[in-house]
Amino acid sequence: MIEVVGAGLAGSEAAYFLARRGVPVALVEMKPKTFSPAHSSPLFGELVCSNSLKGDDPYSNACGLLKEEMRALGSLTMEAAAVSRVPAGGALAVDREKFAAYITEKLRSRPEITVVCREQSELPREGIVATGPLTFAPLAEAIGRRYGEELHFFDASAPIVSAESVDFSATFTQDRYGRGTGDYVNCPMTKEEYEAFVSALLSAERATLHDFERGEIFEGCMPVEVMAARGADTLRFGTFKPVGLRAADGSRPYAVLQLRRENGEGTCYNLVGCQTNLKFPEQRRVFSMIPALAHAEFLRYGVMHRNTFLNAPHILNADFSAKDAPMLFFAGQMTGVEGYVESAASGLLAGIHLWRKLEGKEPVVPPASTVSGALSRYIAAPNGDFQPMNANYGILEGGFQGVRDKKEKRRLLAERALKEIGRFKADILG
């Protein structure tokens, strides 16, 4: 029986793929016996930092392209997202509870999967380790003893407020540039309101975090207060940018905070891009300075936590197997892919590659012109300053250098990638 350690997105993908191919799997998960500092649900596939899986258009967003590649390969994450989706414009956002419940039911209903609730302390001889960036200490120590070097960074999550506490009379509903179906609630701010908000943000007290000021913060999960410290207008040209938005009277606000549904019922909203490490009372004080949130009820405050990942170029091959143990695979954020979708994709790929080896066949990495293949190669390529990587067009091989128009170039990249992943599926999965 093959062990898959960890039932987050990566482990769930790996276990599901192997089970559907008839491979007996022991899915080892320490919840609900033990929870990491960031987790609270007993369900598999729990989303912690955000309910958004980012952009869903394969022709304008590299993460959207990765999603299409995963759908082609039979992704469980994409199945769960389809049945738990909530309105979010051009992004793919989900109801977290329904999303995790779908994954849990699918895995528990497979006769090939035996769920084992325990705290793993040793690396399996054959299997997939997908325990995430907050790997339980005994297993993390076992990995450290074997491979030595450990890398880490910090990331954060955004607060969630109740819908009934939002002053919708001080908002307008619109997706940026009119894209989507008008799913975002926009909280406009005047110049004076924005400047007062930024001033309060900069002076607010932060939660204590070990080594926080060393700069080891992942750019994609940068706390809003750290962004604000880069300059008075940094947020207004980023998270709070008013570009592409018009109020009901046709005017463009000075700055805008966007709210996105957190669940299908629309009873709670996520403060988009407002990841933070402020102390809880400070979050309530500062964010309540935004007119629409003056009486906001915070259902969950933003938190920050440390993520750990392997020095993958030293340890892993492009098929996610260990260089010193061909039947031992790693998957998820611990490999150096960053983001929910990217983590899930690595688990799916690790499952495919392990299945190939069990069948007596050599693993075949997807083409470098696909996002799946490019990320696979990134984690294994020599790199003296290895850092986590999101899906992006820049890592794809052969970028149509002669094409100047960005939209056209992305369309060509996506069309080629989808053709290549189709060939990969036909050749490898049948």
Residue-level pLDDT at 215: 46
CA 287 vs CA 3, 88, 123, 161, 271: distances in Å: 45, 22, 44, 10, 9
Let me know whether 15 and 151 are in one domain.
Answer: yes
- Mean pLDDT, 10 residues at a time, over the chain (430 residues)? 96 98 96 74 86 89 95 97 91 93 97 95 94 84 83 73 91 82 89 96 82 49 87 92 88 94 79 90 96 91 77 94 96 91 97 97 94 94 79 81 82 95 92
Distance CA 168, CA 170 (A): 5
| Shared-domain flag, residues 125 and 198 | no
C-alpha angle 374/376/378, rounded to 5°? 70
169: CATH? 2.40.30
Pairing of strands 172-173, 304-310: unpaired
Domain count, the chain: 2
* Beta strands, E only, 230-285: 255-261, 268-271
Same domain? For 152 and 170 the reply is: no
Please count the other Cβ atoms lying within 10 Å of the Cβ belonging to residue 38: 18
Do 149 and 166 reside in the same domain of the chain? no
Beta bridge partners of 116: 28
Residue 402 structural domain: 2-156+306-428
CATH of the domain at 368: 3.50.50.60
Q: How far is CA 317 from CA 93, 139, 164, 171, 182, in A?
A: 32, 21, 50, 50, 44
Query: For the purposes of burial, counting CB atoms within 10 Å of the CB of 98, is it exposed (0-12), middle (13-18) or buried (19 or more)?
Result: middle
| Judgement on whether residues 11 and 148 belong to the same structural domain of the protein | yes
- Alpha-carbon span 192 to 358, nearest angstrom: 64
Give the pLDDT score at 158.
86
Q: In the prediction, which pLDDT does 130 show?
A: 96
Q: Which residues contact 5 (CB under 8 A, 6 or more apart)?
A: 11, 28, 120, 124, 127, 128, 129, 130, 131, 139
- The domain boundary, picked from 280, 302, 324, lies at 302
Domain stop point among 285, 302, 319: 302
Taking residue 404's Cβ as centre, other Cβ atoms within 10 Å add up to: 8
Token look-up 């500062």 returns 286
Q: CA 333 to CA 336: how far, in whole Å? A: 5
Sheet with 298-300, strands from edge to edge, namely: 172-173, 185-189, 255-261, 268-271, 160-162, 298-300
Largest Cα–Cα distance of the chain, in whole Å?
67
Q: 148 and 286, same structural domain? A: no
Give the pLDDT of residue 365.
Answer: 96
Q: Please tell me the predicted confidence (pLDDT) of residue 102.
A: 98
Q: Is 295 exposed, middle or buried (0-12, 13-18, 19+ CB in 10 A)?
A: exposed
Q: Are residues 310 and 396 part of one domain?
A: yes
Q: Whole-angstrom Cα distance, residue 117 to residue 291?
A: 47
Give me the pLDDT at residue 305, please.
67
